[in-house]
Amino acid sequence: MRTRLSLAAVLLAVAAFAYAQGAGDDVKKAADETGHATKTAAKKTGHGTAKAADKTADATSDAAKKTGSATSEAAKKTGSATEDAAKKSGNATEGAAKKTGHVFKKGAKKTAHGVKKGAEKTADTVK
């Protein structure tokens, strides 16, 4: 009976060992599959992220070009408007100066004529 009991114990130990080996293989296989799936997902995620980064960079570059172009056009328009305003202001100033000069010239002639008459009257009175 001892032999049978020993044999049963050995058989039970061998069965447990075999089961453990099979379970270990199953766990290893599952871990390998999980690792492979994780690696594939990481590659796809990385690829998607790189594509998104490229698109973002392109969009940013395009927006910067458009902003620069708009700024340049606005500066040209502002410069042109400033130049036109300066010309108009210069023309108005020139016109005002001519009118002022004409008024002074007329006033000077009248003053000179008045001085001349006054001098003639003084001369006549002195004679």
Task: Give pLDDT tens digits for 65-101.
Answer: 888 888 888 888 887 888 878 788 777 777 777 777 6
Residue 20 has pLDDT above 60, yes or no: no
In the numeric block, the tokens 């049978």 are attached to 4
| Average pLDDT of the segment spanning 58-69 | 86
**CA pair distance 89, 123, nearest whole angstrom:** 50
What pLDDT does 23 receive? 56
What pLDDT does 21 receive? 58
**Whole-number Cα distances in Å, 15 to 18, 20, 27, 56:** 5, 8, 18, 61
Sign of the CA dihedral running 85, 89, 92, 94? negative
What pLDDT does 115 receive? 65
Average pLDDT, the chain: 76
DSSP SS3 for 23: helix
What pLDDT does 98 receive? 74
Q: Note the pTM of the prediction, 2 decimals.
A: 0.36
Residue 55 has pLDDT above 60, yes or no: yes
Q: Say how many CA atoms lie within 13 Å of 102 toward its Cβ.
A: 6
Q: Tell me which of 110 and 51 has the higher pLDDT.
A: 51
CA 96 to chain centroid, in Å, comes to 47
